[in-house]
Each structure stands twice: as C-alpha cells, then as structure tokens.
Amino acid sequence: MEEFIQYLPNAFTWINLLTLVLGVIGGLILGATPGLSPTMAVALLVPFTFHMSSTTGLTLLGAVYTATVAGGAISAILINIPGAPANIATLLDGHPMAKQGKSQTALYLCFISSLVGGLFGMLLMILFTPPLAKIALKFGASELFWVAIFGITVMAGLSSGSIFKGLIGGMFGLLISTIGYSPILGTPRFVWHDVLTGGVAIIPALIGLFAIPQVFSLLEPVDERIKPVEFQPEKGILFKTIKENLKMVKALTIGSITGSIIGVIPGAGGQVAGLISYDQVRKMSPDPDSFGKGNPQGVVAAESANNAMVGPSLIPLLTLSVPGSPTAAVLLGGLLIHGLFPGPDLFTTHAEVTYTFIVTLVLAQVAMCVFGLILSRFSYSVMRVPNVEMAAIVTVLAVYGTYSVQNCYEDVIVMYALGTLMYLGRQVGFSPAPVVLGIILGVIAEDNYLKGRMIAETDVGIFNYFFTGSINIIIISLCVISVVYSVYGEIRSYRRTSLKGEE
Amino acid sequence: MKKDVMVSIICIATSIFLYYTLGWIDDERARSFPRVVIIIMGILSFMLLLQTMAVKKTKEKGKPLPWKRFLIMFVLVLVYLYFMETIGFYTSAFLFIVVVTLLFGQSGFSPVRILSRTVISAVFTGVIFVLFNVLLKVQTPTGLFF
C-alpha cells in the first residue's frame, strides 16, 4: 500500500492521462460494438503499444481492458446482444428495462455499479498482490513448473462447452509453444517449414486466434430482425439514479464480493462472475419473480460483479503469470513484450512501471464511469457500424499489428494460418483462450522442468525435487482439486444431457 | 454428435502423427516435454470419443458453416498478403477494404456505393498511416507504390 501511494504521482503525467482518456473512450466504444470482443480489442492493441514506452503502453492496455468490460453492457441493454461474454447477465434485466423506456436509467446504473465493483476489486488487488508476490519469490524451478501445470489444469474452465475440447485445445497450445529451437538445449523441433524456424511468437498467436475467427464470423449472414430499442434521453435523472443505485447496498455488496472471489480463480472469468452474482441477488431478494422483467437490482448485481472481477483477475497474473480470464491472458502478452515477466521482479526491479500501471487501472475505473455516463447518450450510433466494414478493417489491423512488432512477414503468415485453423475449430466447439494459455504456459512449464531436472540430477533426485516441499505439495493439491472439479462438472453436465436425451 | 466423432478421430490421428514425428528430434531431453503433451492429448481425444459415443443423441445445434463466404474471404486475404510486400502496405490495404466491402455488402454495385466504399477505405488507411508511421514512426513495407 505504501508503494502504491509512493508511485501515485507518476501516473499523473500529461501523456499518461491523455492515453488513459483515449483508451477509456475507445474501450467503451469497442466494448459497445457487437462483434468486437474485449479480448480481441486488447489483442489488436498489444502490438500497437509495443512502440510506446512501457508505462504508456500498459496504461493504454489497462484502460481499454477496464472500459471494454463496462462498454459491453451498452449493447446488452440496447440490442439484447452482450458486447462481451461478461455482460450476459446484464441483459437479463437490462434489456427489459430498455424496452420499458428506461434505457438511460439502466445505462447509468451500469456505469455506477461498475465503478463501485471495480474500485472494490482494485482495492483487493492492491492489498493482496505484493504480499503474494513475496511468497512467489521463494519459488524455484519445481514450484514454477507446478504453477504452470496448475495454469494448464484450469484451461478447461476457460473454454465454453466440452471440458475435453478445452483441454485438447490447451495441449495443442502447449505443442505450439515447443515449435522452434528448444530453449535450453537448442535442438530444432517441429520445424516443418522455414516460417517456423523462430517458433511461434506470442503476438501473432494472440491476434490470429482472437481476431481472424471474428473476421470470418462477421461475414456470416446476420439476422436482420435485430433492431435496437429507441433511446429517449431524459433530463435530470443522473442524480436520482446515483441515489437510487447507492441504496441498493445488498446487490452492490453481493456483486462486488462474488466478482472479486471469482476473479481470483483462474479461468472462471467475468461471464461466470456476472451470472453467479445475479443468481445470488435474485435468490436473496424478497421478490425473485420480478427478476428478468426489468428489475434494476439485476443490472446492478451483474455489472458490479463483472467489473469487480477485473482487479482480482490480475492477482494470479501478476504474481504467478496464471491469467484469471481470457482478456487477462492477452494482457499477459502485453506485459511480456514490454519485458515485464510476472513474479516478484515486477514489484522490485520494475516497481515503478508496475505501480504506475496499478494506479492507472484505478483511475481507469473512475474515467470509465465518467465517460460512460457521458457517452451513453451517443452510444446508440455505435450499433450501426456494418459488419462487413468491420471485418475488412479488423483484417487490416490484424495484419498490420502482427507485422509491426518485428517487421516480420513470416509472423503474418503464422498469424493467418493459426487464425483460419481456429475459425474452423470454433465451428466444432473449440475456443481460443485455452490455446493461448497453452502457448504462454508451455514455455514456463518446459523451461522449469528442464532446469529442475538438471538440478535434481545433481542433488536430491527427480522425485524428491519435484514432489516434496510444502509449496510443491500445496500447488500439486490445487492441481488435483482443479482437475477433480472439472471432471465433476463434466459428469454433471453429461448426466443432464443424457437425461434430456431420454426425455 | 456425428461431428464430435469426426473431431475426436482427427485429434487422435494428429496425436499419432505427431508422436511419430518426435523421432526426428535429436536430443532425448528436448523430446520429453512434447512427448508427454502428445500422449495426454491422445488420451483426451480418446476420452472425447468415448464421451461422444456414450451420450445419447441430442439435437445438433449451431448453424452450418457458410463455406462460400469463408472460402472467398480466405482467398482474398491470401491475395492481399501475397501482394502486401510487392505493391506496398497502404495500397494493398486500401484495395483490400474496397474489394471486401463491395463484395460482401448487401446492395449491388452502384457508382455511389463504389465511391462511398472508396472514401471509407481511404479515410481508414489514412488514419492508420498517421497513427503508425507519423506518430509512432513504425516502418512498413513500401513495395512498388506506398
């Protein structure tokens, strides 16, 4: 906390504040645009930040990350399509409110609850990240290896649908990470074409996996019947809404706490946070039947939860490089290209950049609320950008972004190939997030496995090195819990589908 | 569910093929990590197959893949990438956006539409140029034109 205050003034430079404001406005617009997911927006931005200083670059990424999560609510409320998966719970009551002509109130509620939840989450992150990073300082090769394995076990949670497909995707990602020269030994592996000599870099993979499938699906024939509800601006409801909102203490508290807890669990993400908190608030409400018909409490619960998730989802990311959500995984890519490796170093050697980043994330929450309230009036026009134009522009940005990082044409080919493959994979139920996580964690897992093996061979032996020691055992048990939990979930959903089949 | 049977068979075949190619890697230590991953991938694919066969038939969800649009776009991007280095980044990007928006847009080719698409494309390429080349001073492939 002292460090946080010490580095507080650093964030207030002109260039940072300008980047912050632009990032927040851009993020709100991107989030509100159906068809552009926040994860993809951040992925496309990562190469762009490569040419900035690390502080400015990370400010931009943090601002966009924060704002897209809130911006997604705009399209959820106005056209009943969640701008991001995190906003699924928002539309349950947000859209009915809009249909009743209360779209402005709904939008205001969204941004105010997002601010409350978001600040709560940030506070937790500031309090808990540095001490956890200190524990991570004690980690050697074996512990880091197990942390990577733990990250791999949560991959299943990142995918929607079949757990097996999530894990197969993750394994595929791990294999992609081994392409090129082996890190410690220098042996070439899976180099089937000259393009692959240098291995698959993280940026082409991120952009390819998240942006290209989106491009192809933007071109799919759309349902023309989707029409946004009319937006009638009302005067003087801002203060009324703020007052009303702050009275919903129960929904705000439940939302913020559930969101924060779910944020820390790697792989769960905002979608789950919003839905669980919505469900809790509905169950505890004296009038559960009014939910789904335009109850403002529902909007408050969902939005405070999905923004509360942002801060805590960075705790495992910054300390252990295990991202809490798909977008956090992309953000990790951004940290890596600025030479910032998650772990204790972030809070010692790179303390200045890291704390400035954290301060700007807090400022971004405030800016998101302020600009969200201002922009909600104009948000209507964002929904009208035609998909085809968007597809063409996203393609050019993807190509350009990939190329500009290393001025490398081969990267563009790799990006496009992975992206096309991912689009086809998505048609049969695979999702990009586990693959990306595999690519990131594969390097950590293999590096530490080989290092650990070398240490173990001269020391206590492989079994003793990897399987004894309290930290090792704690992380191994986390892995086991995570696997058991996934298997349990799969069995449950299997029972449900087979019951349906019998009916 | 038939689709999932296909998927799992493809995954199993890929695992077997990749396992075979492991022999091409010289060092045993460099082989060990990918080997474990491939074995796990094979097992998971097999479990997916078992699961698919065990679950009773449910309704096939999802829309069919719009193959025609996908293939046209796929080829268009390939052509764009092929010419990117020869005719220059901005010229190729400009042409790409014009062609894509005209081909996939809803109404036909009227002179007004062609003009409006050209303007949109020009504005967008201009914005990128200012952002990247002027503000951030990034090198782009120039090629023949620009």
Question: Which residues, 6 or more positions from A444, have their beta carbon under 8 angstroms from its beta carbon?
Answer: A144, A145, A147, A148, A321
Please check the confidence at residue A225 and state whether its pLDDT lies above 50.
Answer: no
Chain B residue whose CA is closest to A182: B30
**Helices A470-502 and A163-177 sit at what angle, rounded to 10 degrees?**
140
SS3 state at A338: coil
Encode pLDDT of A61-111 as tens digits: 889 888 887 888 887 788 777 767 678 788 888 888 888 888 888 888 889
Candidates A397, A399, A453; nearest CB to B81: A399
Total Cβ atoms within 10 A of residue A256: 26
Candidates A164, A388, A502; nearest CB to B101: A388
User: Average pLDDT of A456-473?
Assistant: 81
Q: Give pLDDT, residue B39.
A: 93
What is the 8-class DSSP label of residue B132? I
Residues in B touching A220 (Cβ below 8 Å): 63, 66, 69
DSSP code string of B68-80: HHHHHHHHHHHHH
pLDDT-derived band at A35, boundaries 50, 70, 90: low
> Is B97 close to A188, i.e. CB distance below 8 A?
no
Please give the share of chain A, as a percent, with pLDDT higher than 90: 8
The phi, psi pair for A429, rounded to 5°, reads 100, 15
Please give the share of chain A, as a percent, with pLDDT higher than 70: 89
> Is B51 close to A162, i.e. CB distance below 8 A?
yes
**Exposed, middle or buried, B144 (CB in 10 Å: 0-12/13-18/19+)?**
exposed
User: Average pLDDT of A114-134?
Assistant: 87
Structure tokens at B23: 């022999």
Q: Residue B32 is which amino acid?
A: S
Please check the confidence at residue A119 and state whether its pLDDT lies above 90.
Answer: yes
User: Average pLDDT of A375-394?
Assistant: 74
Chain centroid offset of residue A436 CA: 12
User: Average pLDDT of A462-469?
Assistant: 80
Q: Give pLDDT, residue A116.
A: 92
Question: Which residues, 6 or more positions from A434, have their beta carbon under 8 angstroms from its beta carbon?
Answer: A155, A156, A158, A159, A166, A167, A169, A170, A173
Greater confidence (A173 vs A482) lies with A173
Of A446-460, A464-478, B100-114, B128-142, the range with the lowest mean pLDDT is: B128-142
SS3 state at A188: strand
Encode pLDDT of A188-222 as tens digits: 888 877 777 778 888 888 888 888 988 888 887 76
* Ranges of H-type helices in A80-140: 88-99, 103-136
Q: Residue A243 is which amino acid?
A: K
> Is A403 close to B140, i.e. CB distance below 8 A?
yes
Question: Which residues, 6 or more positions from A241, have their beta carbon under 8 angstroms from its beta carbon?
Answer: A105, A108, A109, A112
Q: How far is A258 from chain B (nearest CA, A)?
A: 32
- Measured between CB atoms, does A428 come within 8 Å of chain B? yes
Encode pLDDT of B42-58 as tens digits: 999 998 888 888 776 55
> Is A392 close to B100, i.e. CB distance below 8 A?
yes
This prediction's pTM: 0.81
Nearest residue to B36 via CA among A453, A316, A186: A453
> Is A391 close to B63, i.e. CB distance below 8 A?
no
Question: Which residues, 6 or more positions from A391, have their beta carbon under 8 angstroms from its beta carbon?
Answer: A215, A216, A218, A219, B73, B100, B104
Candidates A386, A416, A442; nearest CB to B77: A416
- Measured between CB atoms, does A429 come within 8 Å of chain B? yes
Residues in A touching B54 (Cβ below 8 Å): 494, 498
Please check the confidence at residue A123 and state whether its pLDDT lies above 60.
Answer: yes
Q: Give pLDDT, residue B78.
A: 93
Contact predicate A379/A107, CB 8 Å = yes
pLDDT-derived band at A176, boundaries 50, 70, 90: very high
Q: Give pLDDT, residue A503.
A: 46
Q: Give pLDDT, residue A227.
A: 57
Total Cβ atoms within 10 A of residue B12: 18
Q: Give pLDDT, residue A422.
A: 92
Please check the confidence at residue A502 and state whether its pLDDT lies above 70.
Answer: no
Across all residues in chain A, what is the average pLDDT? 81
**Exposed, middle or buried, A465 (CB in 10 Å: 0-12/13-18/19+)?**
buried
pLDDT-derived band at A462, boundaries 50, 70, 90: confident
Encode pLDDT of A306-341 as tens digits: 888 888 888 888 887 777 677 788 888 888 888 888
Residues in B touching A188 (Cβ below 8 Å): 25
Residue among B138, B139, B142 with most chain A CBs within 10 A, to mutate: B138
User: Within the 218-277 window of chain A, which residues sit less than 8 Å (CB to CB) from chain B?
Assistant: 219-221
Q: How far is B133 from chain A (nearest CA, A)?
A: 10
Q: Residue A229 is which amino acid?
A: V
Q: How far is A13 from chain B (nearest CA, A)?
A: 19
Q: Give pLDDT, residue A272.
A: 72
> Is A185 close to B29, i.e. CB distance below 8 A?
yes
Please check the confidence at residue A223 and state whether its pLDDT lies above 60.
Answer: no
Residue B22, strand partner residues: none
Helix, strand, coil: what percent of chain A each, to 5?
75, 0, 20
User: Average pLDDT of A217-233?
Assistant: 63
Q: What is the rounded CA–CA span in Å between residue A16 and residue A470?
A: 43
Question: Which residues, 6 or more positions from A131, have their beta carbon under 8 angstroms from its beta carbon?
Answer: none
Please check the confidence at residue A380 and state whether its pLDDT lies above 80.
Answer: no
Candidates A187, A391, A413; nearest CB to B25: A187
* Ranges of H-type helices in A338-385: 351-375
Residues in B touching A221 (Cβ below 8 Å): 66, 69
Encode pLDDT of A249-276 as tens digits: 888 898 899 888 888 776 666 667 788 8
> Is A389 close to B41, i.e. CB distance below 8 A?
no
Q: Give pLDDT, residue B68.
A: 85
Residues in B touching A216 (Cβ below 8 Å): 69-70, 73-74
Could you list the pLDDT tens digit for every one of the 146 residues in chain B? 578 888 899 999 999 998 888 887 777 778 888 999 999 999 999 988 888 887 765 555 556 677 888 899 999 999 999 888 888 888 888 999 988 888 887 666 677 878 888 888 898 888 888 877 776 666 666 665 65
Residue among B1, B86, B100, B140 with most chain A CBs within 10 A, to mutate: B100
Structure tokens at A425: 């994979």
Q: How far is A494 from chain B (nearest CA, A)?
A: 7
Residue among A18, A171, A175, A466 with most chain B CBs within 10 A, to mutate: A171
Chain centroid offset of residue A422 CA: 19
Element (H, E) at A229: none
Please check the confidence at residue A33 and state whether its pLDDT lies above 60.
Answer: yes
Q: How far is B110 from chain A (nearest CA, A)?
A: 17
Q: What is the rounded CA–CA span in Å between residue A372 and residue A24?
A: 9
User: Within the 459-498 window of chain A, which residues sit less than 8 Å (CB to CB) from chain B?
Assistant: 494, 497-498
Candidates B30, B84, B125; nearest CB to A189: B30
